[in-house]
Structure formats: C-alpha cells, structure tokens
Chain A
C-alpha cells in the first residue's frame, strides 16, 4: 500500500527529492513568512468560510462532473468531464487566486503582483484584485503580450497594470523572473500570487491545496453518479501543473486510481521545439525549487515551445517531478497537432470547445488504454481565448 505522505509535501518543503526553497536572501523573509503562516491561516474557520463562499457564489462552484455520452461511446469507456472551464474567468486558475488574495489580506499586504503566460492566471489575478480593491501589477512576456492580446486587454479592463518582461526570451519564465525581481524590490507590502504549483516552498503546496477543491468535488460527484468516490483514472494536462495537482490531490494515496499527465510535446519530443519536461528535462533548480527542467549541459534554462502558451514552460512543479520519478503518475507527450485534433474532437462530440492546454489532456485518450474504464478528464479551461489559434490552425 502506497502511503499518502509519500506524495504530499513534507515539513521541509520537499516531495521526495524535489522541492525546497532556493531563493536569494532578499526573498527569504517573504518566503519564511508564508512558510510559517500558510497552514495556520488557511485552516482558520473564518478563512475557510470566506474561501468556500467565494468559490460558490463568485466562481460558480461546484463545477459539474458531466458524463460525456458520445465520447464514452467512441472510446467504449465511461468518461466524465470535470468542467473547470465553467469557472468564472474561464479556467481553474481562479480557485488559486481567490485563496491567495484572502491569504494576502490576512498577512496585511496592500499590493499584488503575478506572472502570466497565456494570460489566464493574469486575468484570474486581476479579477480577484478588482474584487478586493487591491492594486495589481501583472508581468507578462513581451512576446506573449502580442500572441495573447485579448487577455492583455481583459486585465486592463479589470484595472491591472501590465508590465512587459523584455528580458531573456520574453515569455512565461521571464515574466516569472521579473515578478520575483519586483518582489525583491518591494518585500514588505506586496504579495506575489504564483499561478502554478511551482516556485519555492510553500507555493507548490499552497497552490495544490487551493486547487484540491477539484478532486474534492469529483469524489462526492462520483458517489452520486456511480456510487463510489473514485474513477479508474484521472487525466489532466501539465505545464507547471496546477490543474493536475488539484485533480490528482485527493487520489494521490489511492493506488487504485491511475494518474495520467499530458505534457506538451510541441512539434514532437525528437524536435527541439517542445515543452515535454519529463521527456526532455533533467534535475536542477528553476524558480526556487528543485525539479525537472529543460536545460543545456551547462545548466542554462532552455526555451520551451508549445502551441499552447499555458504549457509553454521549461519546468514542472516539484510534486509532478516526484509523481514522475516515483512512477505514481504516467506521463504522455502530446504534440501540437494531436492536441488541436483532440480539441476539435471534443467540440464535435460534446459541444465543448476546450482551451488548447485542456486539448492535450483530451488527446491522452488516444495514447492509453481506456476501454471499459471509468475516466475523469479535467477540462481545465475553455477555448474562447484560443479562437485565433484554432482559426490559424484551420483544420476543422
């Protein structure tokens, strides 16, 4: 029997050999403040009450667990879709930003910063800042600002200030660097809302806990629909890995549930243009935690590629590095082309246009044996933001 403690963070901030807090001394007081307080604050009844209330009445939770009839027929399986795409702002990201802004308020922070790649986390952060009346600065790679223009404008409408990351490759990893630099320069009054299960401890655990509402709901929704609280497998896409962490969370210690993580292979794992970290990465330190990352032999972080901006990240969260390393989760690599076809497939079979990130998870159905299985796929986001990408791909 696999023990639960093997897959959750330990008291030093590690998942197996991955995790930790590799931050400069300038950031350490902020990180220590979070490490010392996050469990106590987030377990306060008053905190939980407000978090639950906002998830219900503001985000629109619980999100449905929908039995996808036509897709189930196609794959001769029982396929459930966890509809995170129906969350306010269009993706699961808001579960975390609600939690973190409540935490920031308790810690008496006045300003919020965040990084964003595709803009979904930026929008979710700008949204909760508007909700709470807090100042909001979003760092976004200059290249991403061009390819995700509508989300830039959404953030501006919500009152956030957008700052272009002009360093390095001008994408998500550079936006993360700039946000960390901003935090070094403003250590006392600012909270940094990291959007995925990455970064120094306690962020990976903090974000996983806020996202764990996904699998918490899946459990009771399955009881209502099939009379037991677990499926045979849970499938989710992994960039940094926040939606997967949330969908896996309450099944980590349930070995009867297979965990499937779909990574973005870009143009293919034999091609340099890829973001499939478990296939192409190696151990190292990225953004404050020990994890798997794509790098040169000299330890320089390399630029990933995926058609999906949300999966276009050179690392994965330490929890996923551990799930991979221990064999607890099965990782598959999905190319741009496979993901796009899967996105169209879901649109035609179920009338749901998924985010291209999510389309990678859908494509996993073609890569693993699902016949006669009960499968839950986490539909992490909706495809509205990706219309331009669907249009320029064009094969529909």
Chain B
C-alpha cells in the first residue's frame, strides 16, 4: 500500500503536510529536516526540487530555490541525498517540482529512482492532466508513484470531476487565485469554494494549500478538507532559525491543541 493511502486511511482530519526546498538552508540539510519534521509529528513531507524559473511560487520559495541551486543542488544530488531516506523516515514523502528538470532527468529514471529511495508521490504543477496522460502516466503507474493534481477556485466543475477521476493519493486544493506564500485572511469567497467542493462528494481526499501559515489558517482549512499544506511559512521559519528545536516547536505550534 502506498504510504499516502495509509495516512489517509488512518487519519481523516487534521493531516499536516509540510513543504521545504531540497538543499535549503544548507545543501546537506535535506535529510535532517525531513527526519526532524517526522519526529515533530508531521504526517506528510513535501520536498521541493529547486528550479530556476518556478512560476507558481512566490518570493519566499523562489529565493530558497535559487539559493539551493547556487549551492549546487540538483535533482541528481537530491536522489543521492535521499538514498537512506527510508532508514530514517517512515511517513510519506512527496517531491514537488517543475517539469523541465524531470524531463532532462528522464521519466523512467526519475520514477525508478523515486521508487528506489522510497518517494510516494510527485507534484508537478506545470504538467497538466492531458500532458501527464500522454507523456508519462504509464511510467508513473508502472513504478507506483502517485502524481498529485491541483485544483483551484477557477477550475470548472467538469474538470474537478476529471481531476478526481485521474487522482491518486490526494488532490492538492489551491486555496485561492494566487502563487505560493500569499498572505491573506480567509475570505467568504474562499469558504464558498471550499464548501462547493465539499458538497461534490469527491472520492479522493483533499489537502488545502497556499496561504496556510499558522494554527488558525490550518484549523480553518481542516474544516473543509482532510488537512492542509504549509510551505512558505515553514521556509520563513527556516530563515529565522533552522535548528531541530525550532522546527519542532514550529510544528508543535500548529498541531498542538
């Protein structure tokens, strides 16, 4: 059973997925941060593959990606860093990245290596459903790697059902029309969107991401989905203090009652 499915079968509410950029703040931090997040109580880890032109990301994640690249980070190096991942980390790990580095790496090698190191799923925002089906779905399925799709407030009802049918693991529900790291109050329009999707009774679970930054926004999102994803806010934490203690207390501030 894919580890993502295990999490969703055990836990129906309050799933916390935390994103961080591979090789950030220091190039060899990837595994340490993953391990610390698991111990701190995170349910799913999402590791960003740094890219030079991340168009869906705001300044915080752009900056972390650029610094990781400048330090010499690459997809190849990430796979090497993750070699011993499963000796230390039991929870699901997802890679998030843009399509071009994956194409250059090669889909077959990418899926093969993901399986070998124990990656459970992949999020490639600039690979739409149709292109995924044509380019690489067969390979992903062969290796048992879940491809996670996004939906947004502008996604049509028809397309939401298509995404639901094509999805495995969970659907990444983008909370508003924005890039990552946009700071905002939860608006009535967002709540309407969350409720509209909730009423569609989709077969695949959802995690809400973008604009989730603290306990309040996390708890709010959890009312409308199985859990939520925190990215930029965690990178900001790493910028302030990336010690294991600081990471643990950041996670605690979100999940502790």
Contacts of B52 in A (CB 8 A): 168, 300-301
B74 adjacent to A25 (CB under 8 Å):
no
Q: Mask for A164-176, Cβ within 8 A of B = 1, else 0?
A: 0001100001100
Q: Which residues of B contact A195 (CB under 8 A)?
A: none
Q: Which residue on A lies nearest to B153, using beta carbons?
A: A187
Residues of A within 8 A of B152 (CB): 25-26, 29
Q: B26-34, B40-48, B124-132: which lies at the A interface? A: B124-132
B17 within 8 A of A: no
Query: Are A24 and B150 also in contact (CB < 8 A) when A29-B156, A184-B56 are?
Result: yes
Say whether, besides A25-B128, A300-B51, A185 and B99 are in contact (CB < 8 Å): no
Q: What's the minimum C-beta distance from A171 to chain B, rounded to whole angstroms?
A: 12
A295/B104 contact (C-beta < 8 A), A26-B150, A29-B154, A300-B52 known? yes
Query: What is the CA–CA distance of A59 and B206 in the complex, to the nearest angstrom?
Result: 52
> 20 pairs across A/B with beta carbons < 8 Å?
A22-B128, A24-B150, A25-B125, A25-B151, A25-B155, A26-B174, A28-B128, A167-B66, A174-B53, A177-B53, A184-B56, A187-B177, A285-B98, A285-B100, A287-B53, A299-B102, A299-B103, A300-B69, A301-B53, A301-B100
A77 at the interface (CB under 8 A from B): no
B59→A167 contact, CB < 8 A: yes
Tell me if B198 is interfacial: C-beta within 8 Å of chain A.
no
Closest chain B CB from A20 CB (angstroms): 6
- Whole-angstrom distance between the alpha carbons of A347 and B91 in the complex? 68
- Which residues on B sit within 8 Å (CB–CB) of A298? 74-76, 101, 104-105
Interface hub of A180, A188, A300, A301 (most chain B Cβ within 10 A): A300
B88-107 to A contact mask, C-beta < 8 Å, 1/0: 00000000001111111100
Interface of A is mostly: loop
Query: Which listed residue, A286, A288, A300, touches B101 by the CB 8 Å rule?
Result: A300
Question: Does B138 have its Cβ within 8 Å of any Cβ on chain A?
Answer: no
Residues of A contacting B54 with CB < 8 Å? 177
Per-residue B-contact encoding for A92-117, CB less than 8 Å = 1, 0 else: 00000000000000000000000000
Q: Which residues of A contact B125 (CB under 8 A)?
A: 24-26
Binding site for A on B (CB under 8 A): 51-56, 58-59, 62, 66, 69, 74-76, 98-105, 125-128, 131, 149-152, 154-156, 159, 174, 177-179, 182
Q: B154 contacts which chain A residues (CB < 8 A)?
A: 26, 28-29, 187-188
Additional pairs, 17, CB under 8 Å, beyond known A24-B150, A181-B58, A288-B126: A21-B128, A21-B131, A25-B125, A26-B125, A28-B128, A28-B154, A181-B55, A184-B55, A184-B56, A186-B177, A188-B177, A285-B98, A285-B103, A298-B76, A298-B105, A299-B100, A301-B100
| Alpha-carbon distance between A177 and B101 when the two chains are bound, in angstroms | 17
CA distance A371 to B213 in the complex (A): 68
Q: Which of B99, B101, B156, B177 contacts A26 (CB 8 A)?
A: B177
Residues in B with CB closer than 8 Å to A300 are 51-52, 69, 74, 101
Closest to B76 in A: A298
Residue A23 at the B interface, CB < 8 A? yes
CB distance from B141 to the nearest CB of A (A): 21
Contact partner of B177 (CB less than 8 A), chosen from A23, A184, A297, A301, is A184
Whether the Cβ atoms of A299 and B127 lie closer than 8 Å is: no
A287: chain B residues within 8 A (beta carbon): 53, 55
Alpha-carbon gap, A288 to B58, bound state (A):
18
**Across-interface contacts of A173 in B (CB, < 8 A):** 53
What does DSSP make chain B's interface, helix, strand, loop or mixed? loop
In contact, A168 and B53 (Cβ under 8 angstroms): yes
**Which of A24, A168, A177 has the most chain B CB atoms inside 10 A of its CB?**
A24
List A contacts of B174 (CB < 8 A).
25-26
Task: Determine which of B102, B104, B156 lies in contact with A297 in the assembled complex, contact meaning CB atoms within 8 Å.
Answer: B104
Q: Which 9 residue pairs spanning A and B have beta carbons closest together?
A: A299-B101, A299-B104, A25-B150, A24-B125, A29-B154, A298-B74, A300-B52, A299-B100, A24-B56
Which of the residues B66, B69, B178 comes within 8 Å of A184, measured between beta carbons?
A: B178
Q: Which residue of B lies closest to A181 (CB)?
A: B179
B51 proximity list for chain A (CB < 8 A):
299-300
Note all chain B residues with C-beta closer than 8 A to A159: none
Complex-state Cα separation, A295 to B53, whole angstroms: 11
Collect the chain B residues with CB atoms within 8 Å of residue A177's CB.
53-55
Q: Is the CB of B55 within 8 A of A180?
A: yes
Residues of B contacting A187 in the complex (Cβ-Cβ under 8 angstroms):
154, 177
Contacts of A24 in B (CB 8 A): 55-56, 125-126, 150
Find chain A residues with CB under 8 A from B151 CB: 25
- Which residues of the partner chain B approach A22 to less than 8 Å between Cβ atoms? 99, 126-128, 131
A23 to B132, CA, bound (A): 12
Cβ-defined contact, A285 with B177, below 8 A:
no
A26 to B182, CA, bound (A): 14
**A268 sits at the interface (CB 8 A):** no
Chain A's nearest CB lies how many Å from the CB of B139?
Answer: 17
Alpha-carbon gap, A79 to B178, bound state (A) = 51
With a cutoff of 8 Å between Cβ atoms, the chain A residues found around residue B99 in the complex are 22, 285
Is A16 interfacial (CB 8 A cutoff)? no
Q: Within 8 Å of chain B (Cβ to Cβ): is A284? A: yes
Whole-angstrom distance between the alpha carbons of A21 and B99 in the complex? 12
Residues of B within 8 A of A180 (CB): 55
B50: nearest residue on chain A (CB-CB)?
Answer: A300
Q: How far is the CA of A167 from the CA of B54 in the complex (A)?
A: 10
Nearest chain B residue, comparing its CB with the CB of A20: B131
CA distance A78 to B102 in the complex (A): 49
User: Known contacts A24-B126, A25-B174, A28-B128; is A284 also within 8 Å of B100 by CB?
Assistant: yes
